[in-house]
Copies of this chain bind each other. A is one copy, B any other.
Amino acid sequence: MNRQKLIEEIRSKNSFLCIGLDVDKNKIPSHLLSEQDPVFAFNKAIIDATHHLAIAYKPNTAFYEAYGLEGWKTLERTINYLNENYPEIFTIADAKRGDIGNTSSRYAEAFFKDLNFDSVTVAPYMGSDSIEPFLAFENKFAIMLALTSNKGGLDFQVIEDGSGEALYERVLKTSLGWANSDRLMYVVGATRPEYFERIRRIVPDHFLLVPGVGAQGGSLKEVCQYGLNSDVGLLINSSRGIIYASQEKDFAAKSAEKAEELQKEMAVILSGAGLSS
């Protein structure tokens, strides 16, 4: 998918909601456990019930790898289902990959060619040649960790060099010099709203993928106050808060209710910012 289509989709749905498919078999309604592929049955129901409210889905690869071959098959079924039935949806493999150049090339093939995701999350520690292979694909995006929402995010990411520049700022600035840096997006946690202003000074135009609203306690309003740009520029992710809204047979309808709550908040924010369709 290209950037323009993503923006059009956001405008037409008045939503910049991404739904995280971090699916744990122990947390899905028990009546699904008799299905041949319970996690896929769960994902399919959630997607069918929420696709008009969300513009992106983000399966987290760890939750699939934990089930071995079966899990990888479920991941494949899920991305295929999305691509076949909802081609307008932006898909994110939340995989946090990154390795030396020849190896990152193989990861890029895995997620962009074999599975055909629109984007994949990547980790910056190994620098330029660990990310550039992901940027070599037209109409695909690498979403690089900048400032993450978790406790340990403060261990290294905010360390300042002698001139007062924090590591996450250096990561952002340096990445702008890489080949095809317009194919980058960045992960910035919703639990760090005080940083969005500094981040937008460095990357005013890029999309930011923002986890941490909901279960992790981040505020949508605060994030938008500094994070929105004229193309909206935000993908707000919620996982557990939406997909585990109910453990009963009504789980899909309940997840749609939760998604709609967020989408309505987003519509109000977009309208207030003059960004409505």
Contact = CB atoms under 8 A, between A and B. Distances in A.
Interface stretch (A159-167, A199-207, A220-228): A159-167
Given A68-B110, A159-B161, A160-B162, A62 B152 contact: no
Nearest to A113: B66
A88 interface: no
Interface stretch (A2-10, A35-43, A123-131, A250-258): A123-131
A126 B148 contact: yes
Interface residues of A, number: 58
Interface in A85-119: 94, 96-104, 106-107, 109-110, 114-115
A63 interface: yes
Contacts of A151: 101, 127-129
A150 B130 CA distance: 8
Nearest to A177: B155
B63 A106 contact: yes
A101 B62 contact: no
Given A150-B100, A162-B162, A170-B159, A65 B127 contact: no
A63 B108 CA distance: 11
B60 A103 contact: yes
B156 A127 contact: yes
A145 interface: yes
Nearest to A165: B159
B109 A66 contact: yes
Nearest to A132: B152
Given A22-B103, A123-B96, A68 B114 contact: yes
Contact of A67 (B71, B114, B171): B114
Contact of A125 (B76, B99, B124, B160): B124
Contacts of A101: 150-151
Contacts of A103: 22, 60, 62-63
B110 A65 contact: yes
A262 to B, nearest CB: 20
A277 interface: no
A246 to B, nearest CB: 20
Nearest to A103: B62
A149 interface: yes
